[in-house]
Structure 1
Amino acid sequence: MEYTVSSNSQFRINFGATGLDEIKQNIYTILTTPKYSVPLDREFGITPPLDEPLPIAKARTSTEVIEAIHRNEPRVTVTKVDFIETARNNEDGVIIPVVTFTLKEGVA
């Protein structure tokens, strides 16, 4: 079964989350944490794309999202990274990653 999480999902942090809820919350945290912002784990998170053409930004961000999730949430396999293109404050070119994943065998 495939599940989807995006960085614009509305999550309330649940410190007691388990199973699928914990995994979704972890992926959301990876997507919304800027790389180099965690003092004891500078590699955690993703680098927000800045000042790049959209096709290049999407390609680089897709690769970075897959690698970050693989490194920090080993219970899932990313099957697809899509993007929502939107504008904020009258600026074009904002991309929001949407991650589709499956649970690895043996994960409930």
Structure 2
Amino acid sequence: MREPGGFYFGPKSEAEEVIQNLRTILSLPAGSAPFARNMGIPFEELDEPMPVAKARMGGSVMTAILEQEPRALVEEIRFYEDETSGSAGRLIPVIRFKLREG
């Protein structure tokens, strides 16, 4: 069942559940989730120049995934720079991962 905002309360597979969890982790500012203050990523890096922001966000994204969704084994983190819309300078993380065995 898909709820408003694209959230599934009953994912059909473990992969779908992990993808949903990664999307949630990467969209939350650290400390903003009630009762789960460790969830999310720090957004302070976003005010840095683009090369610095990419480097710092890469580390923050990797750390957040390792700590908060251990079923995901990250193979690659890339950033898409959205410069075509009104959100010029927006970094969008693209994560390639596989599910951990076991």
Task: Give the TM-score normalised by the residue count of structure 2.
Answer: 0.83
Q: Aligned equivalents of 1:43 and 1:37: distance in 2? A: 9
Task: Give the TM-score normalised by the residue count of structure 1.
Answer: 0.79
Residue 50 of structure 1: how far off its partner (Å): 2.5
- Of 5, 10, 13, the residue aligned with 2:7 is 13
- Of 86, 89, 99, the residue aligned with 1:93 is 89
Tell me the amino acid that sits aligned with residue 46 of structure 1.
Answer: I
Residue 64 of structure 1: how far off its partner (Å): 0.7
User: What is the count of residue pairs matched by the alignment?
Assistant: 95
Residue 71 of structure 1: how far off its partner (Å): 0.8
1:80 alignment partner, SS class? strand
* Unaligned stretches of 5+ residues in structure 2: none
* Unaligned stretches of 5+ residues in structure 1: 1-10
In the alignment, structure 1 residue 102 sits paired with structure 2 residue 101: no
Residue 100 of structure 1: how far off its partner (Å): 0.8
Higher relative contact order (CA 8 A, sep 6+): 1
Q: Aligned equivalents of 2:97 and 2:40: distance in 1? A: 17
Please name the residue that 1:74 is paired with. Answer: 70
Residue 28 of structure 1: how far off its partner (Å): 0.6
Moved over 4 A (4+): none
Tell me the amino acid that sits aligned with residue 75 of structure 2.
Answer: T
Tell me the amino acid that sits aligned with residue 63 of structure 1.
Answer: G
Please name the residue that 1:39 is paired with. Answer: 34
1:44 alignment partner, SS class? coil
- Bigger fraction of residues in strand: 1
Q: Aligned equivalents of 1:42 and 1:93: distance in 2? A: 27
In the alignment, structure 1 residue 50 sits paired with structure 2 residue 46: yes
